[in-house]
Amino acid sequence: MQHDTRTEQSNVSGAYVRHSLSEKDREAVAAMRMEVAPVKGKMGDPSARPPFDEVMEHTPDARGVTYEKRVVGGVSGIFCTPQGARPGAAILYLHGGAYVLGSANAYRHFAGQIAARATVAVFIADYRLAPEHRFPAALDDARAAYRGLVESGARKIAIVGDSAGGGLALALLSIVQTEGVAPVAAVVMSPWTDLALTGGSLEDRADDDPLLTKEMLSKTAASYLDGHDPRDPLASPLYGALAGRPPIQLHVGTSEVLLDDTRRYADKARAAGVEAVAHAWEGMTHVFPSSVGTLEAAEKALSLMATFLDERFSTRPEAAGPRKERGRA
């Protein structure tokens, strides 16, 4: 099947792009499903940190990217710097792992793939994890890292994240507008935007999702929130007032329980006048762009992210921020 793209408009003038599944990817996804089947719903506590990191480290290294451990704003992490990096620009990357898993080291190659394509240095923040550190520790660290990038001289900053890190990125947007340098854009992959777990896809994609389950997400949300209101917009950005957010690009697979976390956030953002475009990838699973080198869809999604980020970093600072969709869907 040839890859094609078609646009469907939501009932609030939201923009979606649907991407079909290629035959090559159909076979690759089938193999991946078999590989992860034994761990479905089991990656929900600190004991899963080593195997989770091992999986993420399978993302191939990007040519021409150097990696350096750094502390930014008091937060440890790794800088991924591509050849010819754009001066005065930076990307803050917030990794996934349901707030209990993940590390900058494990994500360095994936973030390096983004850095190479966008020709912008990426800082992956090693924000504190639950259950050792509860809400709002992760958000506090993300904000401190953002401030640190500003203090280090970055004048154009984008925020990128996946899964829980995608939700964290969207929550961070609401509190960094006054940090001296407002973010020019955000890119999120399979973002977890609703820790109250009210999305319909948690049920109707339960069998189709090869990795995540509602029960596992409920467990990790409880571990992170420690009794805090899951509808607090700083924990679940779906419940926030979204007007004034910068342009946002979202990517999600149709075979994942968090599909509605993207759909509903994109609808709400568009209704608030935000330039938000959601790319839905047929048959793809959670955070599929990390499978670059294996999936054609991963390469195409990363190319879309790079084009989007290049446009935002090329915009004059005074012109950055929400604007009308220019016929792009």
Active centre residues (catalytic): 163, 256, 286
**Which DSSP state fits 239?**
G
97 touches 164 (CB < 8 A) = yes
Backbone dihedral region of 283: left (phi > 0), alpha (psi from -120 to 50 degrees) or beta?
left
The β-bridge relationship of strands 276-281 and 15-19 is parallel
Q: How far apart are CA 160 and CA 40, in angstroms?
A: 26
Q: How far apart are CA 5 and CA 282, in angstroms?
A: 11
Q: Which residues contact 280 (CB under 8 A, 6 or more apart)?
A: 16, 17, 18, 19, 252, 253, 254, 259, 262, 263
CB atoms within 10 A of CB 11: 7
- The residue to which tokens 């921020």 are assigned: 321
